[in-house]
Amino acid sequence: MQSKWVSMIAAGGLAAAMSTAGGCETDAQTGALIGAGVGAGLGAVIGHQSGHAGEGAAIGAAAGGTTGFIVGNESDKKKQ
């Protein structure tokens, strides 16, 4: 039952990140938002295997958001 909730939360986080990505002003913001959503989802699923879904989601969101920001920022630089 708990794995069902983790999957639902992860899917919801991904859906929320993807649906709001179009409202960002820069590629860096969009990348950070999508990266954080995907990272949180993956982190929750991976962390769930060891019983630490919340910690996995937090770490995944931080890592994904940072990576997404860096990639998006480079895209912004190329556009200028």
How do residues 23-37 score in pLDDT, each as one tens digit?
A: 678 999 888 988 888
pLDDT band at 63 (very low <50, low <70, confident <90, very high): very high
How do residues 7-56 score in pLDDT, each as one tens digit?
A: 666 666 666 656 555 667 899 988 898 888 888 888 888 887 788 888 88
- DSSP class of 62: H
pLDDT of 25 reads 86
- pTM score, whole prediction: 0.71
Neighbours of 75 (CB within 10 A): 14
- DSSP class of 80: -
Residue burial 32-65, b: 16+ Cβ < 10 Å; e: rest: bbbbbbbbbbbbbbbbbeeeebeebbbbbbebbb
